[in-house]
Amino acid sequence: MLLVMKIKVAIAAAALASPVALTMAPVATTPSRSANSEISEIVTKPFQYRVAGDFSRDGRPAAAPLRSMQLGGNLTIMHHQVTVGEYSACADEGACPRIPQRAVMIDRPMVGVSWRDATAYAEWMTKKTGLLHRLPTDEEWVFAAGEKAADEAPPLVDPSDPAQAWIARYEAEANRARPLALDPQPIGTFGRNTHGLQDIGGNVWEWTNTCFLRFAFEAGGAARVVNTNCGVRVVQGAHRTYMTDFIRDPRTGGCAAGVPPANLGFRLVIENEKLPTVSRMVERVVATLVREK
Amino acid sequence: MISRRTALLGAAVAALVAASPALAADDLKLPRQAVELVAPPFVHPHEQATKEGPKIIEFKLPIREKEIVIDEAGTKFQAMTFNGSMPGPLMVVHEGDYVEVTLINPETNTMPHNIDFHAATGGLGGGALTHVNPGEEVVLRWKATRTGTFVYHCAPEGMIPWHVVSGMHGTVMVLPRDGLKTREGKPLRYDRIYYIGENDLYVPKDENGKYKSYETPGEAFADTTEVMRKLIPTHVVFNGKVGALTGKNAMTAKVGETVMIVHSQANRDSRPHLIGGHGDYVWETGKFTNPPEKDLETWFIRGGSAGAALYTFRQPGIYAYVNHNLIEAVELGATAHFKVEGEWNNDLMKQVKPPGPIPPSKSSAAEPTVQTR
């Protein structure tokens, strides 16, 4: 049953990629690597992944399942989050919206970006380099984050009492360590993980391409997707959360309890081949699904 | 503004006065009781109704000028406070008691201060008799002749609003000697009491839109006044900062407990609302000789007043207590939370069907369907 939802994600990803793939003619005959970002190629291997989204069983909140999975191929991803300087180049060409920064330091991570802004930058990078640039999926992000990926164990509470789960979640959020500084810090401030990626889980959260899904566990234990909302995307960092795609400044208050991300930024995945066709994309993602346990 | 020099001179004069025979007027032959104040949202222990006769209740109120942080972005603010908290502490007495306040302006401060009690009669609420420079203290006694929740605030000539929006305000609660009552005269009691003081803050920004910080309150004065005159606060918060009463600092209660919420706004109108709850008994204007209103959804706190609301929690969970100008609650910070433990009551609320796909309608989807059973 998980397979069903994976294909949905795959289709969503393919749909996103398609406008680029169909309209793009390769710009450079010898595609240069992302000129302005160091990248890592991470060799695929199995990893643990807690499925993103909202899970319920018999109409009550339930814990998301933890899966063992493996990506269909190696993952090429930026070492560091896209910087103010890098993003500005896109804005200078009119391909990305110009967004004022709290602290204007061109070598710090670009923050205050929505999923739409990040996607515009990825499309611009694709055009510039002739290599498909895109946001990672949540699975890819968790794989790349490695030991720095946060997996908050869901609280064990009486499922018949909605308030208990609610209070437990509130307390877990209240106990989260808050970043000491709100302004983006120099690249590397929050360390490097075993995959060479910098600042995973620092004070800049990262957009992913994964849509918000709602699942219901069926009697047999399989999870069925009951709702897909691609207006809300998974955001990753010190904790995983979900944000509406046009939000640039996460905040809390009013009815919303809990601690929002300090900043929204992003890093991109680069497809190693020249612009893959939609069918190749789908093949790749389906390969991912097949390898999944 | 009074210079440091004149301030010191003032202190010297004050020292002389203090040296003369104790002015502590024992013209009143009444028992005395010293009360230790606590920082909001908590309230010092007190009787809700008392069988004892009137007393002189002594409060020590040091003024502290200090830098505080008012939001998650780390915005620094030159606060002026009573007892070190924003708002100042809630003082609880009973009708007929005498409130005797020792107002202390330590030498480490930079400003003259005073105090105006809305509950007191005459002398500009005490403001005319309590002007103290750094290094001075003053003792004021006033009789609590009216019951209710009343604001107090600093009111020095020429810069009253600035002192108030810098944090110098609090509340006195004068309880009826026989306690609170319903319209019908039935006694009302609370298991817990919380004091929420709402602050509208006006923080200047630099040319890049970044909040400015200052070394002393005096240095912040001119820029702050400019922002104040436009009447649009940069922050509207409870108890001095965004998130002062949320997360680990959320107020707590249990299902079945009755909670008294005293809410003050010394400068600007507010409209508290408990999301998911109500005001069972609300003294919107805060004055207990007027019967409480019942079953309110939102109540109005006039700028320069304090109100009181009683609510018995009936359902566990997280409750947001907000200024229901939701822009002020969410964008500017006026949000608090209650964490309420207890057993969920499905009769009061139940999620009959969790979120899921809309089932295909048998008739036209656009038509509203009428269900018949």
pLDDT digits (tens, 9 = 90+) for A120-135: 999 999 999 999 999 9
CB contact under 8 A, B318 and A251: no
CB contact under 8 A, B247 and A167: no
**Structural fold of domain B4-17+26-176:** Immunoglobulin-like (2.60.40)
Is pLDDT at A57 greater than 70 in this prediction? yes
Of A68-72, A217-221, A251-255, the range with the highest mean pLDDT is A68-72
Every domain range in chain B assigned CATH 2.60.40.420: 4-17+26-176, 196-341
CB contact under 8 A, B356 and A227: yes
pLDDT digits (tens, 9 = 90+) for B3-26: 444 444 444 444 444 444 445 556
Q: B317 contacts in A (CB within 8 Å)?
A: 162-163, 166-167
pLDDT digits (tens, 9 = 90+) for B237-251: 999 999 999 999 999
pLDDT digits (tens, 9 = 90+) for A175-228: 877 666 788 999 999 999 999 999 999 999 999 999 999 999 988 889 999 888
Q: What's the whole-number mean pLDDT along residues A30-41?
A: 57
- Work out the percent of chain A whose per-residue pLDDT is above 90: 47
**B275 by DSSP, 3-state: which?**
strand
Q: B248 contacts in A (CB within 8 Å)?
A: 174-175
Question: Rounded mean pLDDT of chain B?
Answer: 91
CB A233 within 8 A of CB A212: yes
Place of tokens 């990262």: A206
**Pairwise CA distance, residues A276 & A29, whole Å:** 15
CB contact under 8 A, B342 and A227: no
Asked if the peptide bond before residue B41 counts as cis, ω within 30 degrees of 0, the response is: yes
Query: Which among A59, A102, A166 is the nearest to B317, CB-wise?
Result: A166
* Better-scored residue on pLDDT, A219 or B367: A219
Is pLDDT at A7 greater than 50 in this prediction? no
CB contact under 8 A, B331 and A253: yes
Q: A163 contacts in B (CB within 8 Å)?
A: 315-317, 340, 342, 344
Place of tokens 């930058």: A121
pLDDT band (50, 70, 90) for residue B73: confident
Is pLDDT at A25 greater than 70 in this prediction? no
DSSP for chain A? -HHHHHHHHHHHHHHHHHHHHHHPPPS-SSPPP-TTS-EEEEPP--EEEEPPSEEEETTEEEPPPEEEE--SS-EEEESSPPBHHHHHHHHHTTSS-----SS--TTSBP-S--HHHHHHHHHHHHHHHSEEEEPPPHHHHHHHHGGG----PPP---TT-HHHHHHHHHHHHHHSPPPS--S---TTTT-B-TTS-B-TTSS-EEEEEEEEEEEEE-TTS-EEEEEEEEEEEEEESSS-EEEETT-SS---BTTB-S---S-EE---EEEEEES--HHHHHHHHHHHHHH--
Domains and CATH numbers, chain A: 2-291 (3.90.1580)
Is pLDDT at A291 greater than 90 in this prediction? no
pTM summary value: 0.80
Q: What's the whole-number mean pLDDT along residues B40-49?
A: 98
Query: Which among A175, A253, A257 is the nearest to B318, CB-wise?
Result: A257
Question: Nearest to residue A136, comparing CAs of A253, A282, A26, A235?
Answer: A235
At B208 the pLDDT is 83
At A168 the pLDDT is 83
- The residue type found at B366 is A
How far away is chain A from the Cα of B196, in angstroms, using its nearest Cα?
A: 16
Chosen CATH of B196-341 out of 3.40.50.300, 3.40.190.10, 3.90.1150.10, 2.60.40.420: 2.60.40.420
Q: What's the whole-number mean pLDDT along residues B274-303?
A: 98
Could you tell me which chain A residue has the CA closest to the CA of B340? A167
CB contact under 8 A, B333 and A166: no
pLDDT digits (tens, 9 = 90+) for B191-234: 999 999 999 999 999 988 889 999 999 899 999 999 999 999 99
Could you tell me which chain A residue has the CA closest to the CA of B349? A162
Is pLDDT at A29 greater than 80 in this prediction? no
CB contact under 8 A, B72 and A102: no
**Pairwise CA distance, residues A98 & A128, whole Å:** 18
Is pLDDT at A254 greater than 80 in this prediction? no
Interface test with A, best of B344, B348, B358 (most A CBs within 10 A): B344
* ipTM of predicted complex: 0.75
* Better-scored residue on pLDDT, B362 or A166: A166
Is pLDDT at A283 greater than 90 in this prediction? no
CB contact under 8 A, A254 and B246: no
Work out whether strand B305-312 and strand B258-265 pair parallel, antiparallel, or are unpaired.
Answer: antiparallel
How far away is chain B from the Cα of A217, in angstroms, using its nearest Cα?
A: 12
**B66 by DSSP, 3-state: which?**
strand
How far away is chain B from the Cα of A272, in angstroms, using its nearest Cα?
A: 38
* Better-scored residue on pLDDT, A239 or A209: A209
Could you tell me which chain A residue has the CA closest to the CA of B359? A226
Query: Which among B320, B333, B339 is the nearest to A167, CB-wise?
Result: B339
At A287 the pLDDT is 45
CB contact under 8 A, A253 and B330: yes
Is pLDDT at B34 greater than 80 in this prediction? yes
Q: Which residue numbers of B are catalytic?
A: 113, 116, 118, 153-154, 163, 168, 273, 297-298, 324
Query: Which among A56, A102, A162 is the nearest to B344, CB-wise?
Result: A162
At B25 the pLDDT is 54
Q: Provide the Cα torsion A117, A123, A125, A127; round to 10°.
A: -150
**Pairwise CA distance, residues A153 & A156, whole Å:** 9
Q: What's the whole-number mean pLDDT along residues A62-67?
A: 89
pLDDT band (50, 70, 90) for residue A10: very low
CB contact under 8 A, A182 and B356: no
pLDDT digits (tens, 9 = 90+) for B325-366: 999 999 999 999 999 999 999 999 998 887 878 888 865 545
Residues from B in contact with A at Cβ < 8 Å: 72-74, 208-210, 242, 246-248, 250, 275, 315-318, 320, 322, 326, 329-331, 333, 335, 337, 339-344, 351, 353-357
